Amino acid sequence: MAEMEIDVRGQTCPVPLVECRKALKKAAPGDLVIVKGTHPASKKEIPMACEAMGLKVLEIEDKEGGKEWEIKIRR
């Protein structure tokens, strides 16, 4: 089981979602993909897209006093 980290801090839509989808396509079943970002809309869109793809969102965590977020997804 591998772990991939995608850093899209400072990027706005659609970049975070596109980069997340690329990582999820590369990841093997069981891998953990961690997406770090700052764009508020992406924090909502990424989990919805993951659920639509049948993937499990493990955690959505606010960082830096809510200025950043981290989403953990199991492939």
Report the candidate in 66, 59, 65 with the shortest Cα–Cα distance to residue 34: 59
- Each residue's pLDDT tens digit, 22-55: 999 999 999 999 999 999 999 999 999 999 999 9
Identify the CATH class of 3-74: alpha beta
Question: Where exactly are the structural domains of the chain?
Answer: 3-74
> How many C-beta neighbours within 10 Å does residue 67 have?
10
**Residue 1 confidence (pLDDT):** 85
Marked catalytic residue, from 1, 2, 13, 53? 13
15 token code pair: 């970049």
pTM: 0.94
Tell which residue, 53, 68, 5, has the closest CA to residue 33.
5
Confidence of residue 21 (pLDDT cuts 50, 70, 90): very high
20 catalytic, yes or no? no
Q: What pLDDT does residue 3 have?
A: 97
- Give the mean pLDDT of the chain: 96
